[in-house]
Structure 1
Amino acid sequence: MTEAGRQRAVDAPLAPPAPTAGLLDVLGRRYLLKLLVRREISARYQGSFLGFLWSYINPLSQLFIFWFVFGEIIGRNSVEKFALHVFCGLIVVHFFTETFNAGTRSIVRNKALVRKMAMPKEMFPVASMLVSLYHVGPQLVILTVVSLLCGWVPDPVGMLAFLLALAIIAVLGTALALMFSAANVFFRDFASAVTILTNFVRFGVPMIYPYTLVDDRFGRFAELYLLNPIADAVLLVQRAFWVGSTDDPDATAAEHIPDDLLVYGVGALLASVVLLGVAQLVFTRLENKIPERLS
């Protein structure tokens, strides 16, 4: 080989055997992502007689339980249409907890694919988020129908609030799932820790209690409560559906919805995007060691 040939061989850039662009590679392989999402959904309802109908039965049963237990037995009359108030929060909480829990376990659960296929490993947490988002659909149908029966009239600000809430949870859930899915490969304790952490989520958002209670108890320190992106998302969904279903929406919004909620929501979304960037950096540092730890 000539000296020029040897020089070219030495100077040639080395390309990694698998993609390293992270989430950008996931977006570039949408067909594969779609297959993973379909696989997850099919596996969930495999062998089920009612199949996808369970996606409607489960949220309907929870709506009935909250209406009957809190409305008829306990008598929570301090919050108008309390069951609807709770159900708005349940949609957000379920979306987040399912994304976080399933995303944390996604790489370990798909270890055979991780070892055999050259694909961006971020694909698995993202697929878990999309499966969770898919199941928001039936819950949204139920919420819309019940809200309409209660006299709800859609408004542009409310619809913007709802889309902002979904974006917050999608980005935040994906960011946390990305970090914890990699960590769970090295120490399986992370999956159990996430399960425990998500048990606290529903009590850290204004779902089974109104935001007014937080504002009354903590005064100006209640603003710290709004630094929780999940709490902001719950309030945004309540602004979109529950407020318009009450007898006096303007009075309800003035009493139970904090001022500048949309500003807090945009801030929560931006913070979630930053966290997603940090999660991608952490994941990139760990991903090369993932296959050997799964073997």
Structure 2
Amino acid sequence: MSVQTSPLDHPWREPGKGRGLAEIVYRFYLLKLIVHKDLRVRYRGSILGMLWSYVKPAVQFVVFYFAVGEFLRMNDRVDNYAIYLFSGIVIVNFFTESFGNATRSIAGNYALVKKIYLPRELFPVSALWVAAIHFFPQLVVLIIGALLFGWAPTFLQLLAAVGALIILAIFCLGLGLLFGAINVLFRDAENLVDLFVMVATWASPVLYTWQQVFSVSEKNGGWLFPIYMLNPITPVVEVFHWAFWEPTIGATGESLPPNMAMWMGIATVVSLATLALGEYVFRRLDGRFAQEL
């Protein structure tokens, strides 16, 4: 004989007192629904739809290629500059979309946040998922382009690229949780993030090479380059150059900065620390989201 239970028999949990990011596992179906909603809202009334994930990086690539490659003569300095440029662009685009969308994810879903309680971490994670959906078509284009230039990577290079992408995803999620929570209280966070993503393109070796930064640093006492490499995006971009661009020029590791293993280790630690800080702040402010929105 089964015993019926009342909803009051189940313990209630305060907002922000749940399992945190572990809710992704327990609420995975709900996460997929949110991702589907985000994609449907984004492309509602759009003629091109998902093709916009190709159009934006294509235009960005053409502008940078001619402005920097042709006019500033980077084509003469870097062999197969097109592959070098695009392998950096796809990574920076993933960062900017993940970070920007995750920051706006709570405020942008205010109707759901105010009506019902659900694990709010799902919103920044869904923003990261949507960015990944837009990233992989660009990655396919990069691979096709690299193959046309004779791309033949080693297994270690491919493994390093996957690891670098995971590290960047952790960093993006940490920043998204942190600024997504702060953005609920102070909408200035959105403008601050816009500045960050604008600087990200120029603060990473996408349009230029790390050797140029190293040369300037050496002329000024050598202090600039270590600071430059502390940015987790920088070693991630360099790993993507190593995995996708270097095999097209027949190099054997010359493209990597000195002590690359150390910089990747630091990037991993910074990313995990950012995730821990973002989750802590997010859960501390979670209970205020509904009333602030």
TM-score calculated relative to the size of structure 2: 0.89
> 2:245 maps to which residue?
242
Distance across 1 between alignment mates of 2:59 and 2:248: 20
Structure 1 residues 106-255: aligned runs within 5 Å: 106-219=105-218, 220-221=222-223, 222-246=225-249, 248-250=250-252, 253-254=253-254
Q: Which amino acid in 2 is paired with 1:54? A: W
Distance across 1 between alignment mates of 2:12 and 2:70: 65
Alignment partner of 1:82 is 2:81: yes
Task: Tell me the SS of whatever aligns to 1:200.
Answer: helix
Structure 1 residues 38-117: aligned runs within 5 Å: 38-76=36-74, 77-117=76-116
Distance across 2 between alignment mates of 1:46 and 1:179: 29
Where do 5+ consecutive residues of structure 1 fail to align? 1-11
Where do 5+ consecutive residues of structure 2 fail to align? 1-8
Superposition deviation, residue 13 in structure 1: 11
CA contact (8 A) 1:167 1:269 kept: no
The counterpart of 2:30, out of the listed 26, 29, 32, is: 32
> 1:4 maps to which residue?
none
Superposition deviation, residue 157 in structure 1: 1.7
CA contact (8 A) 2:104 2:190 kept: yes
Distance across 1 between alignment mates of 2:20 and 2:181: 13
Q: Which amino acid in 2 is paired with 1:249? A: A
Structure of larger gyration radius? 1
Distance across 2 between alignment mates of 1:224 and 1:17: 41
Q: In the comparison of the two structures, how many residue pairs are matched? A: 279
Aligned-residue RMSD, C-alpha: 1.9
CA contact (8 A) 2:98 2:131 kept: yes
CA contact (8 A) 2:125 2:173 kept: yes
Q: Which amino acid in 2 is paired with 1:40? A: D
TM-score calculated relative to the size of structure 1: 0.88
CA contact (8 A) 1:175 1:272 kept: yes
Superposition deviation, residue 17 in structure 1: 4.8
Superposition deviation, residue 165 in structure 1: 1.8
